[in-house]
């Protein structure tokens, strides 16, 4: 194998912790304690609403702009807070703050360094919004490791659509049979890559029950042992 393709969010960049950090900053900046019971109750409800809306976005049922505002509007509505001003400030503030948070999964940089030293060429394939993914890579010091970055937004469809993977392979000058996809979402990352002939490694940080016949790691440092 020569080319390793990584998902970004929830594989290298700790999306959940970085998102929570950005939201907590905004909660304080906008004095949301005057409107809501606690940050914890707000965050718990937001996570559920956001996950549901991301699913709809992945299925093409809502647009990016709808997702960005509706997740906050619906969360506020649950607490009987109806303010387009707060909704707009949260939506804009979150996009401005979240990609600048830099928490990575344990040993992410060490793993990437070891793989580069073993002469693997590294790439990113992400379903995240294009304009923020490059900020995440730069600010978290991941950018120098990767030869190419392919976002589903630039392709026009999302993983697991084969066009995303084929575009990434073409951009990297890589053949599927000499490439491995590493990601945390089984359907989007693993089955999607498998569908175009790539080998895969499932990053199972959630400790799900792995499917038989697939390479699985619970920690990033374990990747090197499978190559």
Query: What's the CA gap between 207 and 116, in Å, rounded?
Result: 27
**Nearest Cα residue to 11 out of 128, 164, 130:** 128
111-136 pLDDT per residue, tens: 999 999 999 999 999 998 888 999 99
What's the CATH number for 15-100? 1.10.150.240
In DSSP terms, 122 is beta-bridged to 4, 146
pLDDT class of 1 with cuts at 50, 70, 90: confident
pLDDT at 130: 84
Residue 177 CB coordination number (10 Å): 9
The structural domains of the chain, with segments of one domain joined by +, span 3-14+103-226, 15-100
CATH class of the 3-14+103-226 domain in this structure: alpha beta
More confident site: 208 or 43:
43
Query: What's the CA gap between 17 and 117, in Å, rounded?
Result: 29
pLDDT at 25: 98
């Amino acid at each position: 194998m020569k080319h390793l393709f990584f998902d970004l969010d929830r594989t290298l960049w700790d999306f959940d912790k970085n998102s929570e950090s950005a939201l907590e900053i905004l909660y304080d900046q906008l004095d949301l304690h005057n409107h809501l019971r606690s940050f914890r109750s707000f965050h718990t409800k937001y996570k559920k609403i956001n996950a549901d809306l991301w699913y709809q976005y992945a299925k093409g049922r809502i647009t990016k702009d709808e997702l960005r505002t509706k997740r906050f509007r619906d969360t506020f509505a649950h607490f009987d807070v109806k303010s387009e001003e707060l909704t707009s400030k949260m939506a804009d503030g979150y996009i401005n703050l979240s990609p600048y948070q830099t928490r990575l999964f344990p040993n992410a940089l060490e793993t990437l360094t070891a793989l580069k030293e073993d002469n693997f060429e590294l790439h990113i394939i992400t379903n995240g919004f294009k304009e923020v993914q490059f900020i995440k890579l730069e600010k978290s010091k991941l950018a120098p490791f990767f030869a190419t970055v392919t976002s589903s937004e630039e392709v026009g469809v999302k993983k697991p659509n084969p066009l995303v993977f084929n575009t990434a392979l073409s951009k990297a000058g890589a053949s599927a049979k000499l490439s491995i996809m590493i990601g945390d979402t089984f359907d989007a990352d693993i089955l999607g890559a498998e569908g175009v002939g790539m080998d895969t490694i499932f990053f199972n940080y959630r400790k799900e029950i792995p499917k038989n016949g697939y390479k699985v790691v619970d920690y990033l440092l374990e990747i090197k042992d499978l190559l």
